Structure 1
């Protein structure tokens, strides 16, 4: 009798557990962003010039302006939310944010976890020198003092490019806290070249004076920036891409780019 009672309790417990799991699975399924009036964009608010807090604490940047323009085309409110950038895909898929939009590079690994919009910026790891420098190609970096931002993708790109780093003066990259610091040392003649994201480089060069620098044709690799959305939300991806195309086609994207970089670098 006791055994029968225990069996009944176990069966009821199993059914209850299955029911809870089914409800949980159902609740974890996010609705399409197409159905929302407000879009929450996750960002690292220290990433100059894409999205950052200015001296007044306002969220500004190229991506911020572009997101607002796309939001107008979609007739949706835009909210920017600071997140731990290392947790961005989890924040997206848990429904805490609706988009990842802050200099987000397209990679095969990320394609497994998110839907990507069309590419809106093409990025390279560029080589920057002073305008009168004798360095004109990557091969000219032999015995040169080369700088880059500490723990940046520029350093990773240099290290991945064969044994070229071993041929630099000192056999290493000279690292700086910021790209601006690196450009200051370049101007002062303490280093011969800087390797940096083209997007960031163009911003800082525009701020410091474009006439001082030249960007070589050679580079240390290319990457694309796009917007990350929840996997499977193909309806919103299509709507988003149409809105983004509209912002680019009507010239708004070019104006935003010229504001931040001094030229139009938006991908078509």
Structure 2
């Protein structure tokens, strides 16, 4: 009988702890800077396969340009950054549900996304390109006519593909793209010939291909998609948090730290 009472007490206690923990991160329309600065902790959501912005290395550590930049920003305020891998196609939901505090991982600013989130100042320019094997003879978007295209699910590239069909969608086979959760699998399919071209961020393409032993086997072509800019995504209510990030960007740019981080990952200063 005592064991049964103890078991019931343990279950009740666990339930109480879970309820309290859940209440601590409930949805709110209040700016979260007070909580973040008090807890000295902020949670960044990212796709942990997006080289070189934020990704897991062979040791399982999350590293990358955006990882170093986020840490540099919040170091100015004495705040620790925790990086939370998420399903990139659900990133805005994770933000609104308070699972994460920020979307920060090569997150492109767009009019569609501005309806859902508040953006920080821009810190890097980017564009969408198609990577292919040179033997496929794809030297312009028009050469993708009737060919198989790959793209990342939930990416800005795929959004552009759908929103501006005249540029690429109407050309490719079945007027659709094979979707991947991450670019590593996509590159494997590109190499094996399962897809003919991969719609991808130029920053990722440049970094990935620079680490390929057979770089000469690939080509990168640009199309008519408008250039993009990377920024941090926040809840619309987190205006103070956005201001703090923007102030930190200005300080890091002035001190030369932003350029230093960029040169470490790209070999040059690619920041805006």
| TM-score, normalization by structure 2 | 0.67
Match of 1:20 in 2: none
1:114 and 1:182 map into 2 onto residues whose CA distance is 28
* SS at structure 1 position matched to 2:122: coil
2:208 to 187, 204, 211: 204
2:114 and 2:159 map into 1 onto residues whose CA distance is 21
Q: Find out whether 1:117 has 2:120 as its counterpart.
A: yes
Task: Kindly report the root-mean-square deviation, in angstroms, between the aligned alpha carbons of the 2 structures.
Answer: 3.8
Match of 2:258 in 1: 253
Note the residue ranges of structure 2 that are not aligned, 5 or more in a row. 1-25
Q: Find out whether 1:29 has 2:30 as its counterpart.
A: yes
2:190 and 2:207 map into 1 onto residues whose CA distance is 16
Structure 2 CA distance for partners of 1:244 and 1:205, relative to 1, 3 Å? same
* SS at structure 2 position matched to 1:74: coil
Q: CA deviation at 1:93?
A: 4.8
Is the contact made by 1:116 and 1:237 (CA closer than 8 Å) also made in structure 2?
Answer: yes
Note the residue ranges of structure 1 that are not aligned, 5 or more in a row. 1-24
Is the contact made by 1:45 and 1:59 (CA closer than 8 Å) also made in structure 2?
Answer: no
Is the contact made by 1:51 and 1:60 (CA closer than 8 Å) also made in structure 2?
Answer: yes
1:132 and 1:251 map into 2 onto residues whose CA distance is 42
Deviations 1:85-113 (A, max 9, x none): 55544554565543222233323344344
Match of 2:22 in 1: none
Q: CA deviation at 1:257?
A: 3.2
Is the contact made by 2:49 and 2:183 (CA closer than 8 Å) also made in structure 1?
Answer: no
Q: CA deviation at 1:141?
A: 3.5
Deviations 1:44-91 (A, max 9, x none): 353322333333232222221111111223332222234555554455
Is the contact made by 2:48 and 2:62 (CA closer than 8 Å) also made in structure 1?
Answer: no
| TM-score, normalization by structure 1 | 0.68
Structure 2 CA distance for partners of 1:132 and 1:242, relative to 1, 3 Å? farther
Q: Find out whether 1:107 has 2:110 as its counterpart.
A: yes
Is the contact made by 2:30 and 2:238 (CA closer than 8 Å) also made in structure 1?
Answer: no
2:125 and 2:262 map into 1 onto residues whose CA distance is 13
- What are the equivalent positions in structure 2 for 1:8-87 lying under 5 Å apart? 29-33=30-34, 35-36=37-38, 38-49=40-51, 50-83=53-86, 85=88
Is the contact made by 1:38 and 1:79 (CA closer than 8 Å) also made in structure 2?
Answer: no
Is the contact made by 1:126 and 1:219 (CA closer than 8 Å) also made in structure 2?
Answer: no
1:65 and 1:135 map into 2 onto residues whose CA distance is 35
Match of 1:17 in 2: none
Structure 2 CA distance for partners of 1:130 and 1:258, relative to 1, 3 Å? farther
2:113 and 2:102 map into 1 onto residues whose CA distance is 14
Q: Give the length in aligned residue pairs.
A: 240
Match of 1:224 in 2: 229
Deviations 1:158-180 (A, max 9, x none): 45322754544x55567475544
2:103 and 2:174 map into 1 onto residues whose CA distance is 37
* Greater gyration radius: 1
Match of 2:20 in 1: none
